[in-house]
Structure 1
Amino acid sequence: MRLATITNWAYGATVLLTLVSGSTMLLASSAHEQERAAVAQRHVLQLAATELRRELFYLTDHARQFVMTGDPTYRILYKHGEKALASLETRARPLAEAGATPAELGTVREAIRWADALRDAQRAAFAAHDRGDIPAARAILFGAEHERELDRAQSLVERFQAQLDTRTAYEIEAATRVARLWRAVSEVMIGITALLFLAVLYFIFKRRVLRPVVRLSDVVGRLAAQDFSAVPPQIDQIDEIGDMAQAINIFRENGLERQRLEAERDRDLAARDLLARMTRRMQGCDTLACLLDITRRFAPEIAPRLAGRLYLLESDSGELRTGCDWLAPAGSRDRFPPSACWALRRGQPHRPAGHAIDVPCAHLDAAPDATPDTLCLPLTAHSEILGLLYFEPRTDGGGEGAPAPESYLYMLAENIGLALANLRLRERLRALAMVDALTGLANRRQLEERLEQLRSDPDAAKQPMSCLMIDVDHFKRFNDCHGHDAGDAVLRAVGETLADCTRGAGDAYRYGGEEFTVLLPMPVARAMERAAEIRRRIAALRLSHGGVALGSITASIGIAATPDHCPPGRLIVTADAALLRAKEQGRDRIEVALGREAEG
């Protein structure tokens, strides 16, 4: 008998047994549903009994409280409770709908009638109280007759609960017995199905599977160990074993393909890791030289089969010059204008060779009829051309592994372009942060950095350095008499004068307000001569604003020098003390620091 025939018979028997098991499980589930329904019905009826009991004591308590205390609040509460009650049939209908038996309904109706009788007695007590006969009202509500009626109603409610408990307990027990019976039958059928399945399985593996499989076990073991060089034996029999041999062969081919894909994935992950690492390193670059060094190191690792060159656009000449190169590229010139590259002219990657033939760039050193296999990637950010990334095949034929996909080269160009844009933006922001917007001079922040350099340099204390603190005399009158725009014009003119006087020797800073600072790398004698020139040129300024002459401009200057007067760290304090003395002695003069000022 063929294995397929045996399997079909076993499959049919298994299906039949499974259907029987499913039917018994459905019957057991139905019995469980009946059990749950009985429990739910008991819960609903118990709530109804509890509500009836609450009704008995709620109205009785409020009626008695009113009669005893005379507080109208209890009568109002009684009225609210009484209004909420419906007729006898209305109150009994939910119990009938919930599944109460006629006997249970009769008990409940009797209890409700006794409750209504209690309400009649309570109304009589209220009427007596309204007539002023309070003893009669109390006798009605606290008398033996009223207590008997209350006990009678309560006993009827308890009888209803007892009837309900007896009936539901019997129904739950019956449903439980049926559920257990069908569950047992279902378990027996499942056990028989499992035994039949195991028997068929034993027959298949013992007679028709185990022996041929032993021949394939060595191949399967080697394939499981990822040794896809193992070749499975050729089995020509047309049955499941032959299908298994064919499946093992397909598995081997899939394993070889998976190995190839995993190797490609590993290369992809390695390239992406290199790109991510290069991006992180570029984010920490503070100088262009650092950025170029990172590019020169990482680019040959990302594309080992391609030589390349990074061109930067010079702002002064407008040409592209080589910033760095790797793996000795020889097909492109070191400098060329942007118009010589089609990638820059079109703003898109350009490759003359490949799937679609294109025009070679003019910056390539190739024969006129040649079509070089090069790739030019423009470096742009915010629609601004920053440079060019150029690739060509290595002339030495080196480089292992598959060629890098162009998507990696595009990502490389994008990362370099963004890093260049960030570096240039950082340099621009730093320059803006260090320059006073009004005068164009270096600001106080740059002065503090310069002084910090002098303090941290051990040789600075030995070199002569003079500091001039300059204050425009009576500057407030320009703002008060001519407006703040006139004051700004004065400050710009003084700033231009200081920049012109310190060009080539020294640095001028705007210290704040109308005060300026000049650092001169010279001894105090020469600094005094330069200060005199500055004072003279400021006095020679003739400014007008809005067609009105601003009048004469004078300045007071305090001078301090290191190492004559103080260490580098106290130049500003010492020069400022000399400036204060110059202002105290009449302004429009130059004062040199004294020893006590340096000490102070």
Structure 2
Amino acid sequence: MRLATITNWAYGITVLLTLASGSTMLLASSAQDRERVAMSQRANLDQATSTIDEDVAQLSSLARQFAISGSQADLIAYRRESGLLKAVETRTAAIRDAGATAAELRSLHETLHWADALRDEQAAAIAARMRGDQHAAVAILFSPEYERELDRIQSSVERFQERIDQRTGATVEIAVSASRTWRRVSEIVLGLTGFVFLCVLFFVFRQRVLRPVVRLSDVVNRLAAQDYATEWPHYPQVDEIGDMAQALRGFRENGIVRQRLEKERDADRAVRDLLSRMTQRMQRCDSVQDLTGVIDRFAPEVAPRLAGSFYLFDAERNVMAVAAHWLGPVHSRDEFVPMACWGLRRGRQHRPAGDNIDVPCDHVAQDGDVLVDSICLPLIGQNGMLGLLYFERRSDTPEIGPDENYLKMLAENVGLALDNLRLRDALRALAMVDPLTGLSNRRQFDKAFEARLAQATRTNTPVSCAMIDIDHFKRFNDDHGHDAGDAVLRAVGEALKRSIRNEDLAFRFGGEEFLLLMPGLGVADARARAEDIRLRIAGLAVRYEERDLGPITASIGVASWPEQCATDRLVRAADAALLRAKRGGRDQVATVLTRDT
């Protein structure tokens, strides 16, 4: 066969194989495009649904805040947030436009209707609180049924997102499978092309065909192994080889984009899962110490390239005091006034270095003329400053680390958990303190009494009890009114506060009766202390509405363990001694005559 014929046949075969290879590459590129579209749809759906659960939690938190405090500012904040929510159809429009199916939209509609029902309960609680019925409002918003509704909404949103992930995941898998199939086909076609080049047209197209095919074959093998960083050959000629190289270039670019998106998605999911687990742990914390431990454990994992500190606001001293360190921060002081931090001044994130320059904080010691790359994240609650999260770049890391949005999410979650703890502590304090006198109430006595007796038993030290009753208290109410009686009770309560040691405990036991626990004092010392208190009360001069309420006296009964009675009869023995003091003429101190067994 003549060389021209062989050349023509070889050329024809080469053209056909090249076209087939280019087609498969284009098909593979198209499959990659479908995969990218599916991943983009999933991202859009995740973004569109991410705020539903947050809106429900935010409204619930604001409603609870108002139910507890009754503050108009809290009510305004709740109504403002509630007003931002749109109707169900409007809220689901973005999700429908993002590609959600009808079944998924029905599921989301049901979740949003549950959320609207929850808002009805919030409205009922707010109405009750506005009528002054705090108990009813708190009962609605803190009831087990209300918590179950919150959990059901959260679970429904998670199931909706899981359905979205399953559906879009299947689409992505189909696209990936198609891409791999066409990639294998393209490799086979390229192999055939190389075989023809080597066996038939080697001596004709060695420079034009053989070498480019060998280089492209190496590139294809690397692409098959997902080595998208391979060096790309340059083909300036416009022919079938150039088209094939262009198709492979598109395939490589799509692979690089997909690989980058997968890494970003995996990293984002890992950080969000970590933040979610951290938030769950913080919600179960019962004290600030527990919360500090959770932050100290999780913060280095969220931002491993950043050293940091957790500060708590000490309102009594008006300073930010460090509660925890991690990864060895060296530039921020352990204590500083809030005005030393620009983040606390502005009430928002502050980073003096980075893309947008800003003023450095006074509490951060700078390295000479080099500005420390630091981030201050204020923790703001419903009632003002709570604390601060401080981060600084470690000396062995080249950049600040994670996306600053993650740090903002971390600060928001920590601030919310800390605010909830403060509110919970405030509620506990309200439940344990008598609002009229400021002394601990009967409920706190029941709790503290057992603890002090147990401690006295372990250490074999005495403990005394004084029962105090205001003489003829009914006279103040009858002659001057109940408000005057309240003034007398407040004055006696203040006198008790000024008379006791740090280790003593004073309680309003009920009505005009007060009780004083004196750990470490025997009968003689306790009687002397009671006599001092009686004299202080007798020296009180209380005026109400420009009138002198007259003399105030008190009868006091004292009992002591182990000299006079058993531990379980200490209060009853003191009460019996009080009865003796009253029978003896009032305005005196009496003790137990014989051991009360």
TM-score normalised over the length of structure 1: 0.57
* Pair 1:373–1:538, CA change in 2 (3 A): closer
Which residue matches 1:481?
Answer: 479
Q: CA deviation at 1:229?
A: 8.7
> Which residue in the other structure is 1:573 paired with?
572
Structure 2 residue aligned with 1:515: 513
Distance 1:530 1:302, change over 3 A: same
Q: 1:285 to 1:209 in 2, by over 3 A?
A: closer
Q: Map 1:160-309 onto structure 2 (within 5 A).
A: 212=189, 250-251=250-251, 253-309=253-309
Question: Letter of the aligned partner of 1:396 in structure 2?
Answer: D
Shift of 1:500: 2.0
Deviation at 1:455, TM superposition (A): 4.9
Residue identity opposite 1:563 in structure 2: P
SS in 1 for 2:579: helix
Query: What SS is found at the alignment partner of 1:313?
Result: strand
Shift of 1:302: 0.7
Distance 1:540 1:458 in 2: 33
Whichever residue aligns with residue 328 of structure 1, its letter is G
By how many angstroms is 1:3 displaced?
A: 8.4
Sort the Cα spacing of 1:524 and 1:398 in 2 relative to 1 into closer, same or farther, 3 A.
farther
Give the Cα–Cα distance (whole angstroms) in 1 for the partners of residues 243 and 343 of structure 2.
56
Q: 8 Å contact 1:454–1:460 — kept in the other structure?
A: no
Q: Deviations over 1:423-476 (max 9, x none)?
A: 333333333332222112221122111112135548358320011111112211
CA drift of 1:519 comes to: 0.5
Deviations 1:71-119 (A, max 9, x none): xxxxxxxxxxxxxxxxxxxxxxxxxxxxxxxxxxxxxxxxxxxxxxxxx
Distance 2:220 2:408 in 1: 44
- Is 1:558 equivalent to 2:535 in the alignment? no
Pair 478,215 (structure 1): closer, same or farther in 2 beyond 3 Å: farther
Letter in 1 for 2:338: P
Q: CA contact under 8 A between 1:542 and 1:552: conserved in structure 2?
A: yes
Measured after TM superposition, the shift of residue 231 of structure 1 is: 11
- Cα distance change of structure 1 residues 345 and 545 upon mapping to structure 2, 3 Å threshold: closer
| CA-CA distance at 1:499 after TM superposition | 1.8
Q: What corresponds to 2:470 in structure 1?
A: 472
Distance 1:513 1:362, change over 3 A: same
Match of residue 452 from structure 2: 454
Q: CA deviation at 1:393?
A: 1.4
Which residue in 2 is equivalent to 1:334? 334
Deviations 1:542-586 (A, max 9, x none): 334334433332222222221223333332233223323433454
Question: Which residue of structure 2 aligns with residue 315 of structure 1?
Answer: 315
Query: 2: CA distance between counterparts of 1:356 and 1:210?
Result: 49
**RMSD, aligned CA:** 4.0
Equivalent residue in structure 2 for 1:434, among 432, 435, 441: 432
On the 8 A contact 2:296/2:324 being kept in 1, the answer is: yes
Distance 1:538 1:383 in 2: 38
How many equivalent pairs are there?
Answer: 394
- Residue type of the partner of 1:359? V
Matching residue of 1:371: 371
Instruction: Confirm or deny that 1:492 pairs with 2:490.
Output: yes
Distance across 2 between alignment mates of 1:315 and 1:268:
37
Deviations 1:269-302 (A, max 9, x none): 2211222222222233333333333222221111
Aligned to 1:353: 353
The residue identity in structure 2 corresponding to 1:546 is: E
Deviation at 1:533, TM superposition (A): 2.1
Shift in Å, 1:517: 0.2
Instruction: Judge conservation of contact 1:447–1:509 (CA < 8 Å) in 2.
Output: yes
What letter matches 1:331 in structure 2? H
Q: Is the 8 A contact 2:466 2:558 kept in 1?
A: yes
Following the alignment from structure 1 to structure 2, what is the Cα–Cα distance between the partners of residues 409 and 209? 46
Q: Which residue of 2 aligns with 1:591?
A: 590
Q: Distance in 2 between matches of 1:448 and 1:359?
A: 54
Letter of the 2:291 partner, please give it: L
The alignment status of 1:546 with 2:523, answered yes or no, reads: no
Residue 130 of structure 1 corresponds to none
Q: Does 1:415 align with 2:416?
A: no
Gaps of 5+ in 1: 8-204
3-state SS of 1:260 partner: helix
Matched residue of 1:459: which SS?
helix
- Confirm or deny: 8 A CA contact 2:465 2:515 kept in the other structure: yes
Partner AA of 1:543 in structure 2: V
Q: Which amino acid aligns with 1:453?
A: A
Q: Secondary structure at the match of 1:324?
A: strand
Distance verdict in 2 for CA 1:266–1:358, change over 3 Å: same
**Structure 2 regions of 5+ residues with no counterpart?**
1-11, 21-181, 194-216
Distance 2:487 2:250 in 1: 87
Determine helix, strand or coil for the equivalent of 1:516.
strand
Q: 1:477 is matched by which residue type in structure 2?
A: R
Shift of 1:532: 2.0
In 1: Cα distance, 2:430 partner to 2:186 partner: 83
User: 2:386 and 2:425 mapped to 1: Cα distance?
Assistant: 14
Question: 1:494 and 1:270 mapped to 2: Cα distance?
Answer: 60
Q: Relative to structure 1, is the Cα distance of residues 582 and 224 closer, same or farther in structure 2, using a 3 angstrom cutoff?
A: farther
What does residue range 34-73 of structure 1 map to in structure 2 within 5 Å? none
Amino acid at match of 2:528: E
1:213 to 1:592, Cα distance in 2 relative to 1, 3 A: same
Q: Using the alignment, how far apart are the partners of 1:210 and 1:542 within structure 2? A: 103
Q: In the aligned structure 1, how far is the partner of 2:188 from the partner of 2:352?
A: 63
% identical aligned pairs: 54
1:50 is matched with none
Change (3 A) 1:221 1:348: same
Structure showing greater Rg? 1
Which amino acid in the other structure matches residue 433 of structure 2? V
For residues 256 and 565 of structure 1, do their structure 2 counterparts lie closer, same or farther at Cα, with a shift above 3 Å needed? farther
Question: Which range is displaced more, 476-485 or 568-577?
Answer: 568-577
Contact in 2 for aligned 1:460/1:568 (Cα 8 Å): no
Measured in 2, the distance between the counterparts of 1:498 and 1:211 equals: 95
8 A contact 1:454–1:568 mirrored in 2: no
Report if aligned partners of 2:187, 2:220 keep a CA contact under 8 Å in 1.
Answer: no
Q: Compute the displacement of 1:252 (Å).
A: 5.3
CA contact (8 A) 2:564 2:594 kept: yes
Counterpart amino acid of residue 565 in structure 2: C
